[in-house]
A and B are shown apart, each in its own frame.
Chain A
Amino acid sequence: MNKAEREKWYEYHSGKEGIPVEYLKRDFEDELSGKNAMDDPLEIPDKMDVIYKYSYGQQSRFFRELRENKKIYGAKCNQCSKVYCPPRATCSFCYEPTEWVPLEGTGIITACTVQYFTTSAFIKKLPFICAYIKLDGTNFIMMTNIEAKDVSQIDVGTRVKAHFREERHGAITDVYFKPIEQE
Chain B
Amino acid sequence: MRKVAIVGMGTTKFKARWLDKTYYELAFDAGKMAMEDAGINRKQIDCAVYGIYNDFFQRQYQPDAFVHDYLGLGLKPMVRVNSGGATGGSALRIGYSEVASGLYDICLVLGVEKCNDCYNYEVQTTTPEVLRAILYTADMTYDNPAGRTAASGFALAVIAHMKKYGNPTEEQMAKVSVKNHMNATKNPIAQSPKILTIEDVLNSRKIVEPFKFYDNCLYTEGSSAVILASEAVARELTDKPVWITGVGASADYVMPGNRPNIYTFESSRQAAKRAYQMAGIKDPIKELDLAELHDAFTGTEIMAYEDCFFCEEGQGGSLIDNETVMPYGELPVNLSGGLIGCGHAVGATGIMQTYEVALHLRDEAGERQLKNARRGLVQSIGGTLCTWTVCLVLERED
| B-side contacts of A23, CB under 8 Å | 121-122
The reply on B76 being an interface residue by CB < 8 A is no
The reply on A20 being an interface residue by CB < 8 A is yes
Find the B residue at minimum CB distance from A88.
B255
A1-37 CB mask vs B (1 if < 8 Å, else 0) is: 0000000000000000001100110010000000000
From residue 97 to 127 of chain B, which have CB atoms closer than 8 A to chain A? 120-123, 127
| B-side contacts of A132, CB under 8 Å | 156, 256-257, 262
Are B142 and A172 in contact (CB-based, < 8 A)?
yes
Decide yes or no: A142 and B262 within 8 Å by CB, A86-B141, A130-B148 being known contacts.
no
Complex Cα gap A116–B19 (Å) = 29
Partner of B135, one of A56, A84, A119, A139: A119
Interface residues on A, range: 35 or more
Complex Cα gap A56–B142 (Å) = 11
A22-58 CB mask vs B (1 if < 8 Å, else 0) is: 0110010000000000000101001010000000100
Are B159 and A123 in contact (CB-based, < 8 A)?
no
Are B145 and A172 in contact (CB-based, < 8 A)?
yes
The reply on A153 being an interface residue by CB < 8 A is no
Partner of A119, one of B59, B128, B256: B128
A155-181 CB mask vs B (1 if < 8 Å, else 0) is: 010000000000000011100000000
From residue 125 to 139 of chain A, which have CB atoms closer than 8 A to chain B? 125, 128, 130, 132, 139
| B-side contacts of A119, CB under 8 Å | 128-129, 131-132, 134-135, 147, 149
Partner of A114, one of B132, B135, B205, B208: B208
Complex Cα gap A122–B123 (Å) = 13
Decide yes or no: A125 and B258 within 8 Å by CB, A113-B159, A116-B208, A120-B120 being known contacts.
no
CB distance from B280 to the nearest CB of A (A): 34
Complex Cα gap A48–B58 (Å) = 11
| A-side contacts of B152, CB under 8 Å | 113, 115, 130
| B-side contacts of A172, CB under 8 Å | 141-142, 145-146
Are B147 and A141 in contact (CB-based, < 8 A)?
no
Find the B residue at minimum CB distance from A47.
B59
CB distance from A65 to the nearest CB of B (A): 15
Partner of B121, one of A20, A116, A144: A20
The reply on B196 being an interface residue by CB < 8 A is no
A–B Cβ pairs within 8 angstroms, 10 of them: A41-B20, A92-B258, A113-B210, A114-B209, A116-B208, A119-B132, A128-B147, A130-B156, A140-B258, A172-B146
What residues make up the interface of B, taking CB atoms closer than 8 Å to A?
A: 19-20, 56, 59, 120-123, 127-129, 131-132, 134-135, 141-143, 145-149, 151-152, 155-157, 159-160, 163, 205-210, 255-258, 262
What residues make up the interface of A, taking CB atoms closer than 8 Å to B?
A: 19-20, 23-24, 27, 41, 43, 46, 48, 56, 59, 84, 86, 92, 111-123, 125, 128, 130, 132, 139-145, 156, 171-173
Which A-B residue pairs are the 3 nearest by beta carbons?
Answer: A140-B257, A122-B147, A119-B131
